[in-house]
Chains A and B, each alone.
Chain A
Amino acid sequence: MSVTHETVAKIANLARIRMDDAEIAKLVPEFNNILAWVEQLGEVDTSGVEPMTAVIENHLRLRDDVIDADPLTGGGVRDAVLANAPAAEHGFFGVPKVIE
């Protein structure tokens, strides 16, 4: 299966990465090379094989239902959360206007 310029442009849009035509044109053959190579997986008979979900068997845990049991992942740290935001204002993340 090979991808076209239009497909790569669509993927760039889905991935939210701005790309001009020259960048997309450069990616098309690279994409096709990589896809042609991974397509050899189609040779493998996987009927009756479950897709892997956990590489080491483990159980998802529930933590105790206690507020701020671990202060590192608890609440009340607004300023720390906002400390690295490129545009924090009034205790919120700032973004460009989304409603026209």
Chain B
Amino acid sequence: MTDLTELGVKAIRDGVAAGDFSAREVAEAFNANVEAAQQALNAFIVATPEKAIEAASAVDAARAKGEALGKMAGVPIGMKDLFATKGVQTTAASHILEGFVPEYESTVSANLWKAGAGMLGKLNLDQFAMGSSNETSYFGNVISPWRKAGSNAALAPGGSSGGSSAAIAARLCPAATGTDTGGSIRQPAAFVGISGIKPTYGRCSRWGVVAFASSLDQAGPMARDVTDCAIMLEAMAGFDPKDSTSLNLPVPQWEAGLNADLRGKKVGIPREYRMDGTDPEILASWDRGIEWLKDAGAEIVDVSLPHTKYALPAYYIVAPAEASSNLARYDGVRYGLRDLPEGAGLQDMYAATRAAGFGDEVKRRIMIGTYVLSAGFYDAYYNQAQRVRTLIANDFKAAFELCDVILAPTTPTASFPLGDKVDDPLAMYLNDVFAVPASLAGLPAMSVPWGLNSDGLPLGLQIIGRAFDEQGVLNAGLAIESRAMFNAKPEKWW
């Protein structure tokens, strides 16, 4: 019998529907993999095998009765621990939320359960989704299942959705939710050789998602291939009156619309992304991607995004500013940790609680955000960054007059060893240099696997599309996927 954990979303859904295997068998197989890998990879904060079995049993029962099955029926998934799950601890990988058990379910996770998916557990991440290597979690680092050829050094699975990326690559789940504020779906997907799409801002409800930077945060699926991402995005997306920035638009049938024929499409190559110091292998992978899209029938056009170099500094003003405001809610009063020193008043309790509950990177960003919003600096920093953000969005608008999608690298390097950049915040931030511009403009963007570099590590290619054109992004992704023929997986050592 086939190893069920080698199957993706579509294969599981179709196999369960056809009766080739039961949803329960699938859930049991993945539960076993989750348990066996936990010690070595630390991808999950909490495993919920009983939830996976419960959802699978419901799907098997529905099938037995001949009822219609949902889009994700029988597919067990990992849930990034940033989504509130009723009755299951939700921490954002922080000490300040340790023990927090939501009384409600996030809209995105509720949509997935309604579509027949089940939960294998809550996935580890960078604390409050702040990080690019999954080294800021209070619950320990996630270890990438990948290793450099000839080395046993622990590598970063990317961040912030590092538990999601590691778990999918290691076959602990066929798919997982991610969230992307400045690259947190695409960069980890690229680091482990999987696919992930951040849809247009507003496609997926933010209700019940622990907030980091509200004008940027957007949920999306991570899975082994483009088709699986399309299926899962359909299940996650949709208008939600409880999120004031939710898009009131019907959810397109992305899976049915998949088409890798790019004849008549124009692909833009942004010249500013050819940066000094970029790994030559990354540039070579980009050139190869251009050839693939030509082969798929697309016309390649040169485009310019002149404000690219300012995207990252603008992001590191806007995101911390919003974070400092959002994270003000952690006060030791309503939920989460309370640290009340002997004889302390209310203000001392706030300060002690936040000192004990937040990790170093979270404190650093709250502090930067507080500074750039403080009296006398607001205009010079925050307003200037928001003006630059307008210019970046305008750059994309102008580029999309000339092309339908943009092709770029996802990251400037392959995965790096854990510990390499922890003492240098700026070096860590630079890892998102290619991912952040699309986030600032709210555009759909995805990473698909390209192949392995000379160290045997995965690299990804990024496709950025017009607002609302997830279909164009997925189709270009599919065109790359069908030419890259990426089927490498990490050699099992855990």
Contacts and interface: CB of A to CB of B under 8 A. Distances in A.
A42 interface: yes
A73 to B, nearest CB: 6
**At the interface, is chain A mostly helix, strand, loop or mixed?**
loop
Interface in B332-354: 332-338, 340, 344-352, 354
Contacts of B387: 44, 46, 49-52
A72 B367 CA distance: 33
A55 B317 CA distance: 16
A75 to B, nearest CB: 14
A55 B244 CA distance: 13
B340 A96 contact: yes
B241 A61 contact: yes
B111 interface: no
Contacts of A70: 241-242
B364 A30 contact: yes
Interface stretch (B40-48, B252-260, B368-376): B368-376
A15 B349 contact: no
Given A38-B372, A86-B332, A86-B337, 13 more contacts: A11-B371, A16-B347, A17-B358, A18-B355, A40-B310, A40-B313, A52-B393, A55-B215, A55-B216, A55-B393, A56-B201, A58-B245, A81-B103
Those 7 A-B pairs whose CB atoms lie nearest each other, nearest first: A55-B442, A51-B386, A86-B338, A84-B335, A46-B387, A18-B351, A18-B355
Interface residues of B, number: 73
A8 B370 CA distance: 10
Q: Which of B101, B370, B391 has the most CB of A within 10 A?
A: B370
A36 to B, nearest CB: 10
B354 A41 contact: no
Interface of B: 100-104, 200-202, 215-216, 241-242, 244-245, 247-248, 307, 309-310, 313-314, 316-317, 324, 328, 331-338, 340, 344-352, 354-355, 358, 363-364, 366-368, 370-372, 374, 380-381, 383-391, 393, 425-426, 440-442, 467
B313 A38 contact: yes
Nearest to B316: A38
Interface string A12-44: 111111110000000100110111011111101
29 contacts: A3-B371, A8-B367, A15-B363, A15-B366, A16-B347, A16-B354, A17-B351, A17-B363, A18-B348, A18-B351, A31-B368, A34-B316, A38-B313, A39-B313, A44-B391, A46-B391, A51-B383, A52-B393, A55-B216, A55-B442, A56-B247, A56-B467, A61-B241, A73-B242, A84-B103, A84-B334, A85-B334, A86-B338, A96-B340
A84 B336 contact: yes
Given A41-B384, A58-B245, A97 B345 contact: yes
Given A15-B366, A18-B351, A80-B103, A46 B313 contact: no
A41 B388 contact: yes
A74 B159 CA distance: 35
A98 B349 CA distance: 11
Chain A's interface size range is 35 or more
Contacts of B354: 15-18
Contacts of B442: 55-56
A55 B201 contact: yes
